[in-house]
Amino acid sequence: MSTPEGLAGIAHDPLAFEVFYRRHVGAVTRFFARRVADPHLIADLTADAFVAVIGSAARYQPELGSELGWLYGIARNVLASQRRRTARELRATRQVAGHRLLDDNDIARLEARIDAERAARSLHQAISRLPDKERAVLELVAVDDLTVTEAAAALGIRPGTARVRLHRARHKAAGGLAERPPSTDPPHAPPVRVLSVVVVEES
Amino acid sequence: MNIQDDIPVGGFEERLLAELKAAVAIQSPRPSPGLGPEPAWAGRARPRGMRLGRRALAGVAAAAVAGGTLTGGLVEHDLSRVAAAPAVTTAALDAFLDKAAAAALKSAASPEWKYVWQGQVERRIQRGPGQPVECQQGINRTPVTGLLDVIYSKPVACDRVVLWQPPTTQVRPAAPSPKVSAAPGTAHRHYPDLSLLPTTPDALRAELYAAADRGPGYWEMTTDDKDAIVFGLITRILESGVDGGPLRAALYRVVEQVPGVSITFGAKDLIGRTGAGITFTEHGPHGLSNTTGFILSSAPSFVVLGTMQAGYDWHVPGPPRYSSFAAAYLRMVEWYAATQSTRPPGH
């Protein structure tokens, strides 16, 4: 649902940003829950990812791939950056501390999400021994359910290159990478009974 | 309107969104809604050198904490909460409006683009037997200039109002609407051409009271009180985007002369901005009351931040009851909460 001019608007229009955020924040937290098992870290990484989105939205080119692929590319970079830097460095540079925003309900909900993504996390760990470039494609396709084209966009490579790397990765990991079971992420909101729907007039 | 997110109400995602949106707003090339005209370069590429800076983000966290009423993109209002400072004297009202009128005279005479937040109740939900009825209300940022057709959806009864941003930004054409209907959900009758209105206070006052003689049916109002009709017309004109000039100044002067108008300093809009709330309350049956009004920002701009309307259902069969007016400008829902303090038991 990106606008024709891409996502440049989300860097300076709070409403446009909110639309984008609401569309993708669930996917981003799940992305991190498939890789780390600490709710506080997931909150921090989610905050970091959207801060990075604001900073780089102007560079998004819709013709090169989907929003989600682009977003996952950012999320990967955020996670890689997290792993490269020390906790002290992170504290000094982190712009929005996501973990500070968590309350007990959030932690319980994120733990449930982490639990639901356990299989994906195992898969992610299982392919960690593959060469980086091949693993990156396989990770996005097998763990995150991106298409090869989306994975290519996320990684900034050509789709053909991604297909080759995916083929090699699958070949090397043959036998060890069963298809990921469907997510059992539980609904996080209590059941809602809709009493009535008020007609909303559209202009 | 489809809801395209799965953020739980009150979750950390909402709080994070508030911080991030504030960061985006800080580096926005546009002014905050209602705070002034668009800069000359609005709508073009973002000027160089406006990248998101750490300083901006550092201020965001503090602002989000200080705001207090925001829980991310959602703003929750407990309608039983008493949340307003007491109204003060007529002298204070006059003094404030004098300053506002003087400021208006110094500003540009032509209508400027402004943003209006418009809200509509989209659904009512109840999370279990005996639980409060929650109204979820979407808000749109609507650029308007000149006249604004205000759409009032059906009023609905609810115990709590939850506001949130819809996934689309609705752009409404700014056009006078000669069509009227008594039913909510349609545009209200309005002055077709604001430029024809007199701009001296006495002449404008005479014009508005003559207009009130047309009666509530013509103007789609629910009161026979001429003062209430005049105040309602002034509110409609102000919400139409009269951002500057002699007309706005004259309108403020006329408001001073309408009996029954009160001012509440420290009124808050939905994003935590404070201003002066100018209201007219009409008392109805069963101890219920209807309140309409507008909120003005503080000096030096005295910009109209929004308008509000709160009261009871008058067109629903059975005993009257309070309701949320779906398209009351949501900046004013804080006021709406305050008006509920007068709600009698059982309503």
- Residue-wise pLDDT for B294-325, tens only, equals 778 777 777 776 666 555 433 333 443 333 32
Task: Flag whether pLDDT at B103 surpasses 90.
Answer: no
Query: Which one-letter amino acid corresponds to residue A26?
Result: G
Cβ neighbors of B232 (< 8 A, separation 6 or more) are: B219, B221, B223, B280, B292
Identify the band that residue B204 occupies on the pLDDT scale cut at 50, 70 and 90: very high
Task: Flag whether pLDDT at B177 surpasses 60.
Answer: no
Mean pLDDT of B224-246: 77
**Phi-psi domain of B235 (left: phi exceeds 0; alpha: psi -120 through 50; beta: other):** alpha
**Cα torsion for B51, B52, B55, B61, to the nearest 10°?**
160
Residue B66 and residue B90 share a domain:
no
Mean pLDDT of A16-27: 86
Which among B131, B161, B242, B148 has a CA at the least distance from the CA of B187? B148
In a domain, A182, yes or no: no
Question: Any idea what the Cα angle at residue B122 is, between residues B346 and B339, rounded to 5°?
Answer: 40
Bridge-based pairing state of the strands B304-312 and B289-297: antiparallel
Cβ neighbors of A89 (< 8 A, separation 6 or more) are: none
Identify the band that residue B201 occupies on the pLDDT scale cut at 50, 70 and 90: very high
In a domain, A181, yes or no: no
Residue B198 and residue B66 share a domain:
no
How remote is the C-alpha of A37 from its chain's centroid?
A: 14
Q: Give the phi and the psi of residue B134 in degrees, each rounded to 5.
A: -105, 130
For B62, the 3-state DSSP assignment is helix
Identify the pLDDT of residue B133.
63
Judge contact between B92 and B99, C-beta under 8 A.
no
Number of structural domains in chain B: 2
Minimum Cα–Cα distance from A105: chain B residue: B11
Residue B193 and residue B67 share a domain:
no
Identify the pLDDT of residue B252.
92
Under an 8 A CB cutoff, do B24 and A105 touch?
A: no
Residue pLDDT, tens place only, A68-95: 888 888 888 888 877 666 555 555 455 5
Number of structural domains in chain A: 1
In a domain, A141, yes or no: yes
In a domain, A149, yes or no: yes
Mean pLDDT of chain B: 54
**Between B20, B27, B125, which is nearest A193 by CB?**
B125
In a domain, B152, yes or no: no
Mean pLDDT of A166-180: 65
Identify the band that residue B6 occupies on the pLDDT scale cut at 50, 70 and 90: low
Of A111-115, B180-184, B224-228, which gets the smallest average pLDDT? B180-184
Mutate to test the interface with B, among A1, A50, A198, A199 (most CBs of B within 10 A): A198
Mean pLDDT of B254-263: 89
Under an 8 A CB cutoff, do A203 and B23 touch?
A: no
Nearest CA distance, A1 vs chain B (angstrom)? 10
Identify the pLDDT of residue B154.
40
In a domain, B1, yes or no: no
In a domain, B219, yes or no: yes
Count of alpha carbons within 13 angstroms of residue B219, beta-carbon side? 27
Query: Which one-letter amino acid corresponds to residue A89?
Result: E
Identify the pLDDT of residue B307.
63
In a domain, A202, yes or no: no
* Pairwise pLDDT comparison (A174 vs B29), residue with the higher score: A174
Distances (CA, A) of B182 to B19, B121, B152: 42, 19, 11
In a domain, B132, yes or no: no
**Which residues on A lie below 8 Å from B157 (Cβ)?**
none
**Which residues on B lie below 8 Å from A199 (Cβ)?**
153-154, 185
Residue B97 and residue B48 share a domain:
no
Nearest CA distance, A62 vs chain B (angstrom)? 18
**Percent of chain B predicted with pLDDT > 90:** 5
Nearest CA distance, A158 vs chain B (angstrom)? 29
Identify the band that residue A1 occupies on the pLDDT scale cut at 50, 70 and 90: very low
Mean pLDDT of B201-205: 94
In a domain, B297, yes or no: yes
In a domain, B149, yes or no: no
Identify the pLDDT of residue B256.
92
Identify the pLDDT of residue B106.
78
Residue B208 and residue B65 share a domain:
no
Mean pLDDT of B115-138: 57
Q: Which domain holds residue B105?
A: 76-114+189-342
Identify the pLDDT of residue A135.
83
Identify the pLDDT of residue B302.
78
Which of A135-144, B246-255, B310-319 tops mean pLDDT? B246-255
Residue B132: how many other CB atoms lie within 10 Å: 15
In a domain, B151, yes or no: no
Identify the pLDDT of residue B102.
87
In a domain, B143, yes or no: no
The 3-class SS string of B245-263 reads CHHHHHHHHHHHHCCCEEE
d(CA B195, CA B53): 44
In a domain, A145, yes or no: yes
Residue pLDDT, tens place only, A46-55: 988 888 888 7
Mean pLDDT of B107-128: 49
d(CA B250, CA B106): 13
Residues of A (34-93) whose Cβ lies below 8 Å from B: 43, 46-47, 50-51, 54-55, 58
Identify the pLDDT of residue B4.
46
Q: How much is the pTM?
A: 0.39
Q: Which domain holds residue A20?
A: 8-172
Identify the pLDDT of residue B167.
34
d(CA A131, CA A169): 8
Task: Flag whether pLDDT at B111 surpasses 60.
Answer: no
Which among A119, A138, A118 has a CA at the least distance from the CA of A128? A138
Identify the pLDDT of residue A103.
79
How remote is the C-alpha of B33 from its chain's centroid?
A: 12
Residue B82 and residue B67 share a domain:
no
Q: What is the DSSP letter of B110?
A: S
**Cα torsion for B70, B76, B78, B81, to the nearest 10°?**
10
Q: Which two tokens stand for residue A103?
A: 């309350």
Judge contact between A70 and A60, C-beta under 8 A.
yes
In a domain, A1, yes or no: no
